Amino acid sequence: MSAPTVAWKTAWVTGASTGIGREIALQLLEKGVRVAASARTADKLASLDPRILAVPLDVTDLAACKTAAQFIETELGPIDLAVLGAGTYSPVSIDRLDAELFSEMMNTNYMGVVNCLAALAPRMLERGTGHLSWIASVAGFMGLPKAAAYGPSKAALINLAESLYPEMKLRGVQISVINPGFVETPLTAQNDFEMPFLMKAEDAARRSIDGLSAGRFEIAYPRRFVAILKSVRALPYPMFFWLIKRAILKER
């Protein structure tokens, strides 16, 4: 394998069977990084480049996450970059508030990251170096229609990153949170509404890796969409809800 064109030697990417995670794994490999990729099903991982170490994993299983981290470091060496992207999404209808759906979303999207952190953070802290990152979403910026289960799980990931960053930084471990807008993936294919600034997964992966290479805490894109959403979030609630009603619910 050629020498890395980025700072990392070994990376672990979860949620790597499709979408952004898959593209990040492939692009890191092309940059000379030793890559381990995880997803729930071995069949989907098998379609990746054979140079990638496939590690089937259910991130909701804490013991399995710890075993996976140990296996990867035994096979490839110390993990110096983790991109935790395993996640799920289902739109929520107010006519059917399924508690199990909310629980599944939080267990996979949020606790899945926490479980991997529990496996990785002690190793990186002991070495005094490493880069931990995870994929949240611009949906975590604010509450949005149909995202009542998904949005809170992503907001929790943003808060988690903010909470851990200062202490981890002092101990030599970098934290980054990746907040994509709409990206063409099997998950967003479920949406029945217009998705502004829709991006290709390969473009999202490139922007993610560029941001990680630059050591940015928040990597959010596309920039215009992010700027719009953060401006909307800063509005007083009466104006915020009025705008949501007109722009998303299409009610005048």
Q: Which of 89, 150, 165, 221 is catalytic?
A: 150
Query: H helices of the chain, where?
Result: 19-30, 42-45, 62-76, 99-105, 112-127, 150-170, 201-213, 223-233, 237-247
Residues 6+ apart with CB under 8 A from 142: 151, 229, 232, 233, 240
For 32, phi then psi, to 5°, come to 90, 10
Q: For the segment 85-140, what is each residue's pLDDT rounded down to a tens digit?
A: 999 988 898 998 999 999 999 999 999 999 999 999 999 999 999 999 999 999 99
The pTM (predicted TM-score) of the whole model is 0.93
List the domain boundaries for the chain: 10-247
237 is catalytic: no
Are 105 and 153 a contacting pair, CB within 8 Å?
yes
Are 154 and 139 a contacting pair, CB within 8 Å?
yes
Q: For the segment 24-56, what is each residue's pLDDT rounded down to a tens digit?
A: 999 999 999 999 999 998 888 999 999 999 999
Q: Amino acid letter at 232?
A: V
Give me the CATH topology for the region 10-247: Rossmann fold (3.40.50)
Average of per-residue pLDDT values in the chain: 93
Whether pLDDT at 1 is above 60: no
Q: How many other C-beta atoms can be found within 10 angstroms of the C-beta atom of residue 111?
A: 17
Dig out the tokens for 33 from the structure: 């990084």
